């Protein structure tokens, strides 16, 4: 039997429909944000304690230097020995080293907070960039046809008949 193919074309011009698309920007993890804020708060508390400790250590350095000056005067007068001067110099050096270590810890805490805040800004920037990239990809994947045609067809073979519809771009 002959195959008859009858194609019925219905030209229906379909105006492009504008759909409202929302750009989905990945939301920052609230747990991560909470942990960052908590870290910054605890680091500020730590820095406050270090500043108080540093004030005490600076006073200790000042006292040790005053004691060293007094002992050197007494040594020049011959009232104390060289070992006491050496011991006072060690005390000054020890107090100075403790103060320097505390200053280093304070600077390190500042660097950690700065690094964390920079990382947070970077994460926000990446999230914004990701949102822009997603929106651009959606725009580029959208069909670029302004003239759509609905095509109906009927295919007949031996004892079967098939009907169907297709949207075809006429640009």
Winning range, highest mean pLDDT, from 71-80, 134-143, 157-166? 71-80
pLDDT in tens, 93-113: 999 999 999 999 999 999 988
Query: 16-34: b or e for each residue (b if 16 or more CB lie within 10 Å)?
Result: eeeeeeeeeeeeeeeeeee
Q: For the chain, give every domain's residue range.
A: 1-16+145-171, 29-144
- φ and ψ at residue 162, rounded to 5 degrees: -115, 135
Say what the pLDDT of residue 156 is: 84
Claim: this prediction has a pTM higher than 0.95: no
Say what the pLDDT of residue 115 is: 84
């Amino acid at each position: 039997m002959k195959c008859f193919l009858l194609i019925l074309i219905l030209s229906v011009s379909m105006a492009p429909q504008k759909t409202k698309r929302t750009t989905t920007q990945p939301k920052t993890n609230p747990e991560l944000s909470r942990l960052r804020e908590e870290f910054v708060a605890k680091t500020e508390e730590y820095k406050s304690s270090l500043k108080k400790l540093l004030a005490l250590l600076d006073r200790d350095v000042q006292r040790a230097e005053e004691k060293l000056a007094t002992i050197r005067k007494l040594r020049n007068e011959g009232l104390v020995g060289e070992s006491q001067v050496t011991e006072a110099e060690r005390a000054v050096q020890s107090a100075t080293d403790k103060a320097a270590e505390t200053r280093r810890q304070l600077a390190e805490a500042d660097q950690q907070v700065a690094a964390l805040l920079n990382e947070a800004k970077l994460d926000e920037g990446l999230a914004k960039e990701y949102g822009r990239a997603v929106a651009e990809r959606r725009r580029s994947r959208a069909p670029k046809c302004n003239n759509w045609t609905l095509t109906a067809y009927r295919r007949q073979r031996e004892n079967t008949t098939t009907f169907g519809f297709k949207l075809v771009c006429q640009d």
